Amino acid sequence: MENKIKNIIAPDLESDGYEIVELKCAMFHNSATIRLFIDKPSGITVEDCARVSKTVRFLISGSEIEYLNYTLEVSSPGLDRNLKTKKDFLRHLGKSVAINLSVPVEQRYDLEGKISGADEQCVMIETPELIRIPLEKISRAKLKITV
């Protein structure tokens, strides 16, 4: 279901400058809850969420899943979002990150440092030494928020 919905909405949202960070669909008997997390370089506002919600409802209404009884929730991924992709890490270059690994890198499961780069396979962090971490070994990566 998630892939169907994503295929329907992604082209329009991307052309409007939005990135689909995550799409979750939970089915309950004869209805569904669709949770859509969006982002863009300048950040997400309440107006963005309302605009995207209206667009998504319109796109779903003209699709093969229009019969679906659903609740739609649109929001930003928030400050404590899990960084997953090259794009996520590049968006936050120079920021501090805490990374938990599923497999140790340099004999460590937990690393903290500044994001210095990323490619399709790895993220580079300064701990102060530069460490390359394969993306598939990362179980969780969150920005360290300072106030």
pLDDT in tens, 55-88: 999 999 888 776 678 899 999 988 788 898 898 8
Which amino acid, residue 2? Answer: E
Task: Considering only residues 78 and 109, tell me which one the structure prediction assigns the higher pLDDT.
Answer: 109
Could you give the domains of the chain?
A: 2-75 (3.30.300.70), 86-143 (2.30.30.100)
How far, in Å, are 22, 47, 83, 89, 129 from residue 6 at the CA level? 10, 21, 20, 22, 39
CA distance 117 to 51: 33
pTM for the model? 0.75
